[in-house]
Structure 1
Amino acid sequence: MILSGETDKVFFSAHLKADYPVFFRRVSSVLGQYGIVVGLLGGTADYWCRDYMPIQVGEDRFVKYKYSPDYLDHPASRCYVTNVDKAIDQLDITPDRLFDLADIVLDGGNVVKTPSHVIMTEKVFVENPDISRARLISRLEDAFQAEIIIVPWANRREDPCGHTDGMVRYVKGRELLLDNYSRFDLSTGKRIRRVLEGKGYIVHELDIPYAVNSSWAYVNFLQTANVIVVPRLGIAADQLVYNQLRSLFNVPVEPIPAPGIIRKYGGAFNCLSWNIKTACQR
């Protein structure tokens, strides 16, 4: 399994550079300081390339899927559904390197990888009602070559995306980082923790001793081999989070201001990026 902490090139949608040039320059500068190459994806319809780009899982293996999110399935939003083939055509990813789950609806934001597992929410079942749960899990495990862990998808009206990358992230070994559910949704947090600990993980909760509306954005950091980039929200919790991340990870943690795009669209740095290990490129 290729993990985020092994990647050395980060792509962003060309729309992000055009519409948020200050943020793009900041994040590109920080990544460049740590030897991470930045690239642009053309042919995209929105900023959130994590959700539609194929997921790298091996030296020569990317998992492609059907990008057809229900939260964009209305007339005013369909123009934001990216034709993934157009974006892929600009990259050096040949068809023989793609494992295509052409009939399985998925978002990349609902895929959190660990060395031996892929963590998804129950949203994947909702998006694929015509495939039995057992069959769906079997096909996903065949594609990712890893066991699938399903965690609860709660507050569905407030969280229509149902993505795991703002809920939980892989740290190292058997360690995971979970949003501070004990401060805003204790019941859901206990359910998620029970599932993850049942698979042998040590679960650290985000170290904020009170509820923060956008705490998920901290969990949605951008992780690479050499640096982690985390949002600066301009609140007191910022420093608490940076201190904790620096204690958990063995690479520098760099904060970048980006509250505007987070507040407006409800996505943060992992959502905005697509990162790969270029040693796996031909």
Structure 2
Amino acid sequence: MVNDTETNFLYLADTLPIKYPSFFKRLEALLIRCEVSYGLLPGTKDIWAVDYMPIQVGLEKFVQFSYNPSYLQGPKYADLITDSDKVCEQIGINPVKSTIVLDGGNVIRCDDKVIMTERIFKDNPNYDKDLLITQLRELLEVEHIYLIPEQPYDFTGHADGMVRFVDDNTILVNDYQRESKRFQQAFDAAIRKTGLDTIKVPYNPYDNKGTYSAVGDYINYLQMEDIAIVPTFGIAEDDAVVKLLESVFTNSKLVTIDASDIAKDGGVLNCISWNIRIDGSLKLIE
């Protein structure tokens, strides 16, 4: 499994500069300043690139899951579903195909471990649960798949706004002390079951209008080789989160960007990023 900290090339959707020109301008300037190599994915229909693009398992192995999430069902959402096959063809990737319905934002990975939410079962009701997990382990080439409950009110059911790996033994988790006791207990039990050490990250979406906005969800950062780009939102928790993550990412350069624009529409930095490892014989079209 290729970890975020091993990735050295960033793809963004070509819809991002169209739909969020001010944010893209800030992000592009930051990427250039930090010498992050990047390109635009052609022919996308929305900005959430991590969800519809394949998972990189090895340097030259990508697994393309079915991008057909429950929250985009019906004709009114057809214009939001990117044809991943066409995008991959245009940039020179030939992924292994799977009929399993799974968004990339629900795959949190590190070496031989993956964390995802139980949304995987809702999106694949025709699969036996044990068989589904076995097939996922084989496709992703990991030993462990840890399941956590979906966060209440998150229509996507993704894990990338809930937990992230620091290393093979440690994860960052949102501080859910203001969530319901029922969810806290289920989440804490699932995390304990992993046996991983945890570091709590401040989390405050509670002043947002409605449940759609991701403002206050810092754990949805972008991490690549030698750099972590952390979102800020102009709220009280910004400074505490940056200070905490500076102490965590001691081997990476940490920079910040105001991500309020995209967060108000439901996603943050990991959501818009398809960061991969390019090396040796793997030559993609930028």
Tell whether the structures are fold-level matches, with TM greater than 0.5.
yes
Q: 1:136 aligns with which of 121, 126, 132?
A: 132
Supply the distance in 2 between the matched residues of 1:208 and 1:127 (Cα, whole angstroms): 27
| Preserved CA contact (<8 Å) 1:14 1:41 | yes
Alpha carbons of 1:160 and 1:207: their partners in 2 closer, same or farther (altered >3 Å)?
closer
1:191 lines up with 2:186 in the alignment: yes
What does the per-residue CA deviation read over 1:34-91, in whole Å, with 9 as the maximum and x for residues that have no partner?
3310100011111111100001111221111110011111222121011111111111
**Which amino acid is the alignment partner of residue 128 of structure 1?**
N
What does the per-residue CA deviation read over 1:1-38, in whole Å, with 9 as the maximum and x for residues that have no partner?
21011111111111101222221122122223333101
Q: 2:146 aligns with which of 146, 149, 155?
A: 149
**Which amino acid is the alignment partner of residue 2 of structure 1?**
V
Q: 1:120 aligns with which of 105, 108, 116?
A: 116
Deviates more, 1:232-241 or 1:33-42: 33-42
Matches within 5 A, 1:23-172: 23-93=23-93, 95=94, 98-101=95-98, 103-146=99-142, 147-155=144-152, 158-172=153-167
| Preserved CA contact (<8 Å) 2:203 2:217 | no
**Which amino acid is the alignment partner of residue 263 of structure 2?**
I
State TM-score, norm by structure 2.
Answer: 0.90
Supply the distance in 2 between the matched residues of 1:210 and 1:60 (Cα, whole angstroms): 38
Supply the distance in 2 between the matched residues of 1:13 and 1:91 (Cα, whole angstroms): 12
| Preserved CA contact (<8 Å) 1:206 1:241 | yes
Tell me by how many angstroms 1:119 deviates. 0.7
What does the per-residue CA deviation read over 1:169-189, in whole Å, with 9 as the maximum and x for residues that have no partner?
011241100111123344423
Aligned length: 275
Tell me by how many angstroms 1:200 deviates. 2.1
CA RMSD of aligned residues (A): 1.9
SS at match of 2:12: strand
Q: Flag structure 2 segments of 5+ consecutive residues without an equivalent.
A: 209-213
Runs of 4+ in 1 over 6 A off after TM superposition: none
Alpha carbons of 1:206 and 1:254: their partners in 2 closer, same or farther (altered >3 Å)?
same
Supply the distance in 2 between the matched residues of 1:112 and 1:34 (Cα, whole angstroms): 25
What does the per-residue CA deviation read over 1:140-173, in whole Å, with 9 as the maximum and x for residues that have no partner?
0000111211111242xx2121000000001124
Which residue in 1 is equivalent to 2:170? 175
Supply the distance in 2 between the matched residues of 1:172 and 1:238 (Cα, whole angstroms): 23
| Preserved CA contact (<8 Å) 1:197 1:203 | no
| Preserved CA contact (<8 Å) 2:202 2:241 | yes
| Preserved CA contact (<8 Å) 1:221 1:268 | yes
SS at match of 1:63: strand
Supply the distance in 2 between the matched residues of 1:278 and 1:36 (Cα, whole angstroms): 13
Which residue in 2 is equivalent to 1:252? 253
Supply the distance in 1 between the matched residues of 2:216 and 2:137 (Cα, whole angstroms): 27
Q: Flag structure 1 segments of 5+ consecutive residues without an equivalent.
A: none
SS at match of 2:43: coil
Identity over aligned residues, as a percent? 35
Supply the distance in 1 between the matched residues of 2:167 and 2:159 (Cα, whole angstroms): 17
SS at match of 2:135: helix
Supply the distance in 1 between the matched residues of 2:120 and 2:168 (Cα, whole angstroms): 26
Supply the distance in 1 between the matched residues of 2:253 and 2:146 (Cα, whole angstroms): 29
